[in-house]
Amino acid sequence: MARTSKKRAQQLKHDKFRDTTLDAYGRLSHRFEGRGRTILYIVGGAIALVALLLVFSWWRGRQADAARLALGKAIEITDTPIEGRLQPGQTGPTFKDERERAQRAVEEFQKIQRDYGSPFSELARYFAAANLLTVDRPKGLSELEAVGKSGNDEVAARAKFALAQAREADGQHDAAVALYNELLGDKNKTVSENTLKLHLAAVYEKQGKKDDAVNLLFGVVEAARKAQGKDGKPIQESSVVRAAADKLQELSPERFAQLPPEPAKGGSLPF
């Protein structure tokens, strides 16, 4: 009798567990009743979204590769030699003059600008504007001004530098000085500070501001000769610093003589 009672108690316990489980399943089934198709849509939509993102990522990578290749080919055009200027042993395509070469380059860069998105379109627009200076100078200047106001800081800085050089070449010295000084304040230092100061000194010289030019050049060379690498050794002068030193010696041999000695060969290289 005791064994029968114990067995009955186990049966009742099991039935209670089954009833609780079935009850929970029933409540869950009732909650999602009629929503099976909706759930399938949600899951299917999520899968489709992931697939679309993967496809877009793949397509974007292919587009970027194609844009880089197109830019490289367009830049090659700007390096194509002019007839009569081939180096000994040099062969390959040529252009009859700089205008023809620039026009072809403009066409290629404008095509990239139309076919690809950022940042390649901004780069292509900058290169097209720079080459337009040879084909249609007023239009090229206008384009460089526009690119200089674009949202891509690096491309904008390079456009301003090209515009400053164009203003300098056109004898618009005040405009060139303003642009060079603006670029000197660029926190990203897209164009090297020494390069900007070398150009600025050249404009000062053209304006008759010899002392300003000399002071600027002296500062460039002095800082470079005092600079040290991570190993504590002097840094070898770059081509820009050497050009500044040569110009300083030409303008003011007295100030040139006040410079620290040139670093010995074999010092650290400025990487």
pLDDT tens digits along 100-118:
999 999 999 999 999 998 8
- Provide the residue count of the chain: 271
Q: Check residue 91 and give its pLDDT.
A: 80
Residues 6+ away with beta carbon under 8 Å from 95: 80, 81, 82, 83, 101, 104
Residues 6+ away with beta carbon under 8 Å from 25: none
Residues 6+ away with beta carbon under 8 Å from 270: 229, 235, 236, 238
Strand partners, 228: 234
Token pair 């390096």 is at which residue?
79
- pLDDT confidence tier of residue 148, bands split at 50, 70 and 90: very high
Q: What is the pTM of this model?
A: 0.73
Alpha helices, H only, 79-152 = 98-115, 120-135, 137-147
Q: Which residue ranges make up each domain of the chain?
A: 58-83+93-191, 193-271
Is the predicted pLDDT of residue 2 greater than 50, yes or no?
no
Q: Would you state the structure tokens that stand for residue 262, as one six-digit string?
A: 């040139």
Q: 251 with 228: CB under 8 angstroms?
A: no
* Proportion of the chain above pLDDT 70, given as a percent: 75
Token pair 């007295």 is at which residue?
254
Is the predicted pLDDT of residue 167 greater than 60, yes or no?
yes
pLDDT tens digits along 169-197:
999 999 999 999 999 999 999 999 999 99
Amino acid at residue number 100: E
DSSP state at residue 227: -
Q: Would you state the structure tokens that stand for residue 241, as one six-digit string?
A: 């610093």
Q: From CA 63, how far away is CA 83, in angstroms rounded?
A: 35
- pLDDT confidence tier of residue 67, bands split at 50, 70 and 90: confident
**Of the candidate ranges 79-93, 121-135, 167-181, the one whose mean pLDDT is the lowest:** 79-93
Distance of CA 172 to the CA centre of its chain: 29
